[in-house]
């Protein structure tokens, strides 16, 4: 794919007219998908696709479009030439863009990771063996994601990263199930079997009658998956420069009033260890890390090129949405095998869903528990818990009521594949909180 993309870039270069400049971003994947139901393979296939986003610039006017590539140079040559003519026609009718900003210093790079993944068939067979005798439903995605950038100034960037993502549930009956995930860059059969046995043990508890917990405040443990839901909501607009300058960030109190989270909490954009490439669509290079919150104090924003131009600050590789792609919450000091003992009595929350803000300016969010949430007494799981709704501010959950984070972090890859496999990821510990407020 790399050579093909570079050939297309040279073609675009040869078709430029006058003082035109181009930038183009490439996406490609070679992915195996396997869908499971009743612990049987219901669908298996392979997706190989490539696409190109081209921005054709003249002065401060520009026009951009996406093109799905055929992978045949003769075909794509004709389609690209036609696209460039269409972009010129569009550009002639658009006003100047005061915040147009793209990389003009050439920083070429190549970052390719070797694959440590077995064949998709081998992974599927291991999954079926581990799930034997259980009603397993889920989807496995594996293979390499490719990304590239090129411009008329001579910059060339290429990135390739193989990964896998297994998102599955063990189903019991009605709305009773245990959801689990396993993702990463190095597949290990033993790790899958361990996670499967853990999910199976939780499913046995789910067979018991659900306990109804009255509204109130309870000590709680949030698994990395549950915590990901909260930080995912926060990531929509909490960390972008534009949201900060316009007062739209839910962390406004941290920005304007000096509010702090727990000193044990350090959150960063960790491109070096994520799935996303280390460059973005306008050619700016992403630093290996950006400290968002350090020891509970807000540090840096994610800055897209347009925000950089508008507010006169340096860009740091963020895309237009200025949301993190490789979120990393630093580990804590609680060993994973001591979580139930440290929780003692309270709620073990495996999953959350339907999250939204109930008071945006106070970073207060509401949502519901889902699947494996259990009542724990004296360090032992006693029973599943009927669905609960929580309503709580992050200044409590990740601030004055945070008791600690686990030593172990879990790598969670976004299972989204609408149009293409997502390159978003999160590396998170679990969180133990003193009091979490439940309203229903």
Rg (CA), the chain: 24
Residue among 266, 232, 290 at smallest CA distance from 424: 232
Provide the pLDDT for residue 175.
83
Percent of the chain beyond pLDDT 90?
96
Task: Compute the distance between CA of residue 108 and CA of residue 153 in angstroms, rounded to an integer.
Answer: 11
Kindly tell me if the per-residue pLDDT of 414 is higher than 90.
Answer: yes
> Both tokens of residue 25?
């971003």
Q: Is there a contact between 343 and 311 (Cβ–Cβ < 8 Å)?
A: no
pLDDT mean over 42-59: 96
Task: Compute the distance between CA of residue 437 and CA of residue 440 in angstroms, rounded to an integer.
Answer: 10
Task: Compute the distance between CA of residue 77 and CA of residue 160 in angstroms, rounded to an integer.
Answer: 24
The domains found in the chain, sorted by start residue, are 2-206 (3.30.2290.10), 216-438 (no CATH)
pLDDT, tens only, 267-288: 999 999 999 999 999 999 999 9
Question: Which parts of 279-428 fold into alpha helices (H)?
Answer: 305-311, 339-343, 394-395
pLDDT band at 440 (very low <50, low <70, confident <90, very high): confident
pLDDT band at 174 (very low <50, low <70, confident <90, very high): confident
pLDDT, tens only, 303-343: 999 999 999 999 999 999 999 999 999 999 999 999 999 99
Kindly tell me if the per-residue pLDDT of 15 is higher than 90.
Answer: yes
DSSP code, position 317: S
pLDDT, tens only, 203-223: 999 999 999 999 999 999 999
288-308 core/surface letters (b: 16 or more CB in 10 A; e: else): eebebbeebebebbbbbbbbb
Q: Is there a contact between 200 and 177 (Cβ–Cβ < 8 Å)?
A: no
> Both tokens of residue 211?
């306990």
Q: What are the C-alpha distances in Å from 307 to residues 23, 246, 270, 279, 312?
A: 18, 11, 21, 17, 8
Q: Is there a contact between 65 and 183 (Cβ–Cβ < 8 Å)?
A: no
**CB 146: neighbour CB atoms within 10 A?**
19
pLDDT, tens only, 60-119: 999 999 999 999 999 999 999 999 999 999 999 999 999 999 999 999 999 999 999 999
pLDDT band at 43 (very low <50, low <70, confident <90, very high): very high
pLDDT band at 170 (very low <50, low <70, confident <90, very high): very high
Tell me the three state secondary structure of residue 144: strand
Percentages helix, strand, coil for the chain (3-state, rounded to 5) are 25, 40, 35
Provide the pLDDT for residue 197.
96
Secondary structure of 217-278 as H, E, C letters: EEEEEECHHHHHHHHHHHHCCCCEHHHHHHCCCCCHHHHHCCCCCCCCCCEEEEHHHCCCCC
Max CA-CA distance within the chain?
Answer: 75
Q: Is there a contact between 195 and 203 (Cβ–Cβ < 8 Å)?
A: no
pLDDT band at 172 (very low <50, low <70, confident <90, very high): very high
**Scanning the structure block, which residue is given the tokens 């969010």?**
365
Task: Compute the distance between CA of residue 92 and CA of residue 238 in angstroms, rounded to an integer.
Answer: 36
pLDDT, tens only, 125-165: 999 999 999 999 999 999 999 999 999 999 999 999 999 99
> Both tokens of residue 166?
């297994």
Residues across the chain:
440
Residue among 111, 53, 78 at smallest CA distance from 276: 111
Tell me the three state secondary structure of residue 146: strand
Is residue 383 left, alpha or beta, with left meaning phi > 0 and alpha meaning psi from -120 to 50?
beta
Please provide residue 94's backbone torsions phi and psi, each rounded to the nearest 5 degrees. -100, 150
pLDDT, tens only, 279-313: 999 999 999 999 999 999 999 999 999 999 999 99
Name 192's Cβ contacts closer than 8 Å, sequence gap at least 6.
126, 127, 130, 166, 182
Name 128's Cβ contacts closer than 8 Å, sequence gap at least 6.
36, 39, 40, 41
Is the pTM here over 0.85, yes or no? yes
Provide the pLDDT for residue 389.
97
Kindly tell me if the per-residue pLDDT of 371 is higher than 90.
Answer: no
Kindly tell me if the per-residue pLDDT of 370 is higher than 90.
Answer: no
């Amino acid at each position: 794919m790399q050579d093909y993309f570079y050939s297309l870039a040279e073609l675009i270069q040869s078709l430029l007219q006058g003082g035109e400049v181009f930038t183009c971003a490439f996406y490609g994947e070679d992915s195996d998908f396997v869908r499971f139901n009743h612990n049987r393979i219901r669908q298996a296939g392979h997706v190989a696709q490539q696409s190109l986003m081209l921005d054709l610039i003249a002065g401060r006017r520009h026009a951009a479009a996406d093109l799905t590539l055929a992978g045949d140079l003769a075909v794509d040559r004709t389609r690209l030439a036609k696209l460039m003519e269409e972009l010129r026609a569009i550009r002639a009718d658009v006003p100047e863009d005061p915040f147009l900003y793209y990389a003009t210093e050439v920083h070429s790079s190549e970052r390719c990771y070797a694959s440590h993944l077995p064949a998709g068939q081998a992974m599927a067979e291991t999954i079926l063996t581990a799930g034997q005798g259980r009603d397993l439903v889920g989807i496995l995605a594996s293979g390499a994601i490719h990304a590239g950038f090129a411009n008329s100034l001579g910059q060339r960037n290429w990135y390739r990263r193989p990964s896998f993502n297994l998102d599955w549930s063990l189903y019991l009956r009605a709305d009773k199930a245990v959801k689990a995930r396993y993702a990463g860059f190095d597949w290990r059969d033993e790790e899958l079997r361990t996670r499967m046995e853990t999910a199976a043990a939780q499913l046995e508890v789910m067979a018991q009658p659900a306990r109804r917990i009255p509204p109130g405040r309870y000590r709680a443990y949030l698994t990395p998956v549950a915590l990901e839901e909260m930080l995912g909501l926060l990531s929509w607009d909490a960390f972008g420069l534009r949201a900060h300058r316009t007062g739209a960030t839910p962390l406004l109190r941290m920005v304007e009033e000096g509010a702090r989270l727990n000193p044990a909490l350090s959150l960063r954009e960790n491109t070096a260890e994520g799935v996303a490439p280390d460059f973005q669509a306008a050619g700016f290079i992403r630093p290996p890390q950006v400290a968002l919150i350090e020891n509970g104090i807000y540090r840096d924003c994610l800055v897209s090129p347009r925000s950089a131009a508008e507010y006169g600050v340096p860009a740091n590789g963020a895309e237009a949405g200025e949301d993190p792609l490789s979120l990393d919450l630093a580990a804590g000091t609680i060993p994973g095998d001591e979580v139930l003992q440290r929780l003692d009595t309270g709620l073990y929350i495996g999953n959350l869903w339907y999250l939204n803000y109930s008071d945006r300016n106070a970073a207060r969010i509401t949502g519901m528990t889902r699947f494996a949430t259990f009542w724990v007494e004296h360090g032992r799981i006693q029973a599943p818990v009927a669905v609960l709704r929580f309503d709580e501010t992050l200044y409590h959950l990740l601030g004055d009521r945070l008791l600690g984070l686990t030593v172990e972090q879990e790598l969670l890859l976004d299972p989204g594949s609408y149009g293409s496999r997502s390159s978003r990821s999160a590396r998170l510990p679990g969180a133990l909180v003193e009091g979490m407020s439940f309203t229903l």
